[in-house]
Amino acid sequence: MYKNVLTAQPKLNPEDFLPATHDEKESLAVMRPSVGFWKDGIRRLRKNKVAMVSFYVIVIILLIAFFVPAFYPYSYETQIQGSENLAPMTYSSTEQALMASGQKVFPHLLGTDKLGRDYAIRVMMGTRVSLIVGLVASFIVLIIGSIYGSISAYFGGWCDLIMMRIVDIIYTIPDILLIVLLTFALKTPLQNLAAKPGFAWVNTLGVNLISIFIVFALLYWVGMARIVRGQILQLREQEYVTAARALGASNGRIIKKHLLTNCIGTLIVTTTLQIPSAIFTESFLSFLGLGVAIPMPSLGSLASTAIEGLQSYPYLLFAPSILISLIILSFNLFGDGLRDAFDPKLKN
């Protein structure tokens, strides 16, 4: 064969022109099977150790707050005569007498408060209240914020302009001032409402708790609305939205089925990060004496009462303080993990 040393032509063999075998085809196929949005996100979340640890911490705290009190031998409002201000794991003289006679007495794991109520169960109930506030308030924020934001972005134009100016104004309202005023102002109307037939549920929830929810519903949805609007503004230019409109889908259906479902990652992340800030606000209000009603404890009010006896009974302060910090910390870290896992912008 004639051989040109300078040619750039590769050396070709007849075998190179044979059809590829099955194995060769296989090796060129997609490297991994396609993974759905949820599976992919959860896989990435699982790899994030910090987020998983905080997730388990949240689960444990949820169990302690919602299931353990049902099996706990003490109740959060029962005042046990003679066992006031007990230190953790100590017994009153009556209880010691009972134990001497062979009866079993469940220890006061965290001691008792100045009215003789078991402190461990009070801390558990306080955690429950704080968690309920965090979860419900974030849910309210999610609903109002996502509906408002998506309507504003979807219809655009004047509608968007006016709706966003309202958001801007609410955004600049100094929230704490209004919260203090609102919780105080809503107290009596709600109490009157609770007295009417059919509204007894208001009392079981607690007037202050409801007013906290109303405050959140009025003031805190604006952040969510802004984020949702930003997402929808991008999404609404997508082809599938045009296609859906061409097929005659109603505006409500497009928003619900196409737009909001496509920013579900952002919605989840923002809602999760809203929970700690709601808990934060509730504890702040309870601390100022505007939170949940007595005898219902919340972590903020427990810490607030503990300060009065700080000199003699410092241990009363540590349990609620540590728990509230732990709850806020783990929700924050878990929310960060969720954002890394589900926010497509950070996907590598």
- Of 133, 134, 108, 131, nearest to 121 (Cα)? 108
User: Is there binding between residue 156 and another protein (CB under 8 A)?
Assistant: no
Residue 332 backbone dihedrals phi, psi, to 5 degrees: -60, -50
Q: Return the bridge partners of 118, or none.
A: 112
Contacts 24+ apart (CB under 8 A), 179-184: 179/215, 179/219, 179/281, 179/285, 180/285, 180/288, 180/290, 182/211, 182/214, 182/215, 182/218, 183/208, 183/211, 183/212, 183/215, 183/285, 183/290, 183/291, 184/290
User: Is there binding between residue 300 and another protein (CB under 8 A)?
Assistant: yes
User: Is there binding between residue 177 and another protein (CB under 8 A)?
Assistant: yes
The binder of another protein chosen from 53, 143, 178, 214 (CB under 8 A)? 178
* Least distance CB 89 / another protein (angstroms): 20
User: Is there binding between residue 162 and another protein (CB under 8 A)?
Assistant: no
What track of x and - describes contact with another protein for positions 67 through 106 (by CB under 8 A)?
A: ----------------------------------------
User: Is there binding between residue 348 and another protein (CB under 8 A)?
Assistant: no
Q: Which is nearer to another protein, 88 or 116 (CB)?
A: 88
* Least distance CB 161 / another protein (angstroms): 11
- Tell me the Ramachandran region of residue 18: left when phi exceeds 0, alpha when psi lies from -120 to 50, beta otherwise: beta
* Least distance CB 214 / another protein (angstroms): 12
The binder of another protein chosen from 92, 266, 272, 304 (CB under 8 A)? 304
* Least distance CB 171 / another protein (angstroms): 9
Stretch that binds another protein, among 100-108, 129-137, 201-209, 310-318 (CB under 8 A): 310-318
> What does the DSSP assignment read for 11-64?
P--GGGGSPPPHHHHHHHS-SS----HHHHHHHHHHH-HHHHHHHHHHHHHHHH
Distance CA 303, CA 305 (A): 6
Q: Are 249 and 261 spatial neighbours (Cβ–Cβ below 8 Å)?
A: no
Distance CA 284, CA 91 (A): 33
* Least distance CB 227 / another protein (angstroms): 17
Stretch that binds another protein, among 56-64, 124-132, 227-235, 276-284 (CB under 8 A): 276-284
User: Is there binding between residue 284 and another protein (CB under 8 A)?
Assistant: yes
Restricting to residues 182-241, name those near another protein by CB under 8 A: 182, 184-185, 187-189
Contacts 24+ apart (CB under 8 A), 254-260: 254/154, 255/150, 255/151, 255/154, 259/150, 259/154, 259/232, 259/235, 260/146, 260/150, 260/228, 260/232
Q: Are 101 and 161 spatial neighbours (Cβ–Cβ below 8 Å)?
A: no
Stretch that binds another protein, among 109-117, 244-252, 257-265, 306-314 (CB under 8 A): 306-314
* Least distance CB 241 / another protein (angstroms): 25
Task: Report how many residues bind another protein under the rule CB under 8 A.
Answer: 39
User: Is there binding between residue 242 and another protein (CB under 8 A)?
Assistant: no
Q: Which is nearer to another protein, 82 or 289 (CB)?
A: 289
Binding residues (CB under 8 A) for another protein: these are 165, 168-169, 172-174, 176-178, 180-182, 184-185, 187-189, 276, 280, 283-284, 287-288, 300, 303-304, 306-307, 310-311, 314, 317, 321, 324-325, 328-329, 332-333
